[in-house]
Structure 1
Amino acid sequence: MTNYALEAEGLHTFYGKSHILHGVSLKVEEGKITTLLGRNGAGKSTTLRSLVGLTPAREGKVTIFGQDTTRRPPFTIAKLGVGFVPEGRKIFPNLTIEENLKVPADRPGHWTIDTIYELFPRLKERRNNKGRQLSGGEQEMLSIARALLLNPKLLILDEPSQGLAPLIVREVFNIVVRMRDQGMSVLLVEQNVRMSLEVADHAYVLNDGEIAFDGTAKELSQDEDRLQSLAGVSAEVWEI
């Protein structure tokens, strides 16, 4: 029997009168990387916001680790073991790295500030620098680090490679793979399609608020016509 960290069924989400998601359903298997792909404006970020309670769906159901979280506020969803790395990083610019890392509530587990510094030596080197003084890659590392301090069982990332140099992108994706290898479930929204498919186990494609593909990442990676139809597809095949 397959165990799922997250299941969403028939989500319909609106911004005011604008109907953004039209019956979106997806699943994230425990201990696997699931990627959600699609063109800009397809509804990917709205899907994530609906899953974590920031923009609740008007219709549909969300289940996380067997619990119905459809109408729960975000902080109670986080307490179930869900880490969320939003698009744009959302770190505190006037706080130092170390102060940013002290913001999340303590949860028992492997991830502490010390183990974060082992994972991200660059953050340790610059721990007294303020958020606004960091490069884009350093800000992304800090954003992921804050989510890991919740010791999540499910990590949700929204566009982690956005605006980063290629070498930093590789580093970020290697970290995502490492999370999966440690048993964490990952839901990844990403514009770099080929890179996502290299690391993911399962893939969904969202088109105009509807799921247009649901299958293995390997299957999608071999569908060149569909790949070419996705915005942001890279001609270079990325290798770990």
Structure 2
Amino acid sequence: MTPLEVAGLQTFYGKSHILHDVGLTVKEGEIVVLLGRNGAGKTTTLRSIMGLTPPREGNVRLFGTDATRMSPYRVAGLGVGYVPEGRKIFANLSVEDNLRVPAVRPGPWNTTRVFETFPRLAERRDNRGRQLSGGEQEMLSIARALLLNPKLLLLDEPSQGLAPLIVKEVFQIIKTMRQEGISILLVEQNVRVSLAVADRAYVLDDGAIIYSGSAAELAGDEERVRSMAGASAKEWVTSDI
């Protein structure tokens, strides 16, 4: 059963028309990356899928179920984890207490498994969220979503503001999640690194999909990536992720 099928999304903020007939799919076991310049509508797409900013038109199907008008907690209940832009951890809670916040669902991911996968978090389990580095906060945000034992994970800009070595570590974790059978929809500004791990790619421009296809094919066309996704020279470097 296909984890995610989105068709014809028309999403607004007030009178501002943000998404224009957006459609995409994420198949079982895939990493799909959604690229685009700042303000293209990437975060709004994830929010529309999660029910945080419901579309006025179009539909969202999750694992064969119509989830277009579902509340976020019901979307999560279908097996969808969401790691928002900016991490949104609890700054005054310890790492361990942050991990107690999600309503844990049955499955392979529990606190013990999280600390094995993220040893840095295990070392800092008593530290408050505000005492963590940006990379550690991102790991905590991902770990918290994994405790829901999702079948589909939506990641919004996981590399934002992170040092290159930490970016590599975060993307290795993303690859591990796919090996665990989790399907992933990834929103990213780091074009080269995200295309290196993704199976397929979509590019948004002014709220509309302008590319849909193989991530490897897109990665091989530097000029097209620069024009469509706004990749900077710094981002467009050889990656060994």
Match of 1:94 in 2: 92
- Shifted more, 221-230 versus 71-80: the winner is 221-230
Match of 2:51 in 1: 53
Alignment of 1:150-229 (within 5 A): 150-229=148-227
Residue by residue, what CA displacement relative to the aligned partner does 1:38-92 show, whole Å, maximum 9, x if unpaired?
0000000000000010000000000000000000000000011100000000000
Distance in 2 of aligned mates of 1:184 and 1:237: 26
The code of the aligned residue for 2:174 comes to V
Decide which of 4, 9, 15 is 2:2's aligned counterpart.
4
Q: Which runs of 5+ in 1 are unaligned?
A: none
Q: What displacement does 1:22 show?
A: 0.4
Distance in 1 of aligned mates of 2:218 and 2:231: 15
SS at match of 2:112: helix
CA RMSD of aligned residues (A): 0.7
How many residues end up aligned between the 2 structures?
A: 238
Normalised to the residue count of structure 1, the TM-score between the two structures is 0.98
Distance in 2 of aligned mates of 1:4 and 1:156: 15
Normalised to the residue count of structure 2, the TM-score between the two structures is 0.97
Q: Which runs of 5+ in 2 are unaligned?
A: none
The code of the aligned residue for 1:237 comes to T
The code of the aligned residue for 1:56 comes to P
Query: Sequence identity, in percent?
Result: 66
Distance in 2 of aligned mates of 1:163 and 1:107: 31
Q: Is the 8 A contact 2:104 2:148 kept in 1?
A: yes
Distance in 2 of aligned mates of 1:59 and 1:235: 36
Q: What displacement does 1:159 show?
A: 0.1
Residue by residue, what CA displacement relative to the aligned partner does 1:149-181 show, whole Å, maximum 9, x if unpaired?
000000100000000011100000000001111
The code of the aligned residue for 1:113 comes to T
Residue by residue, what CA displacement relative to the aligned partner does 1:89-139 show, whole Å, maximum 9, x if unpaired?
000001000000000001011100000000000101000000011100000
1:238 aligns with 2:236: no
Match of 2:28 in 1: 30
Q: Is the 8 A contact 2:225 2:231 kept in 1?
A: no
SS at match of 1:4: coil
Distance in 2 of aligned mates of 1:225 and 1:146: 38
Match of 1:146 in 2: 144
Q: What displacement does 1:227 show?
A: 1.1
Q: Is the 8 A contact 2:129 2:137 kept in 1?
A: yes
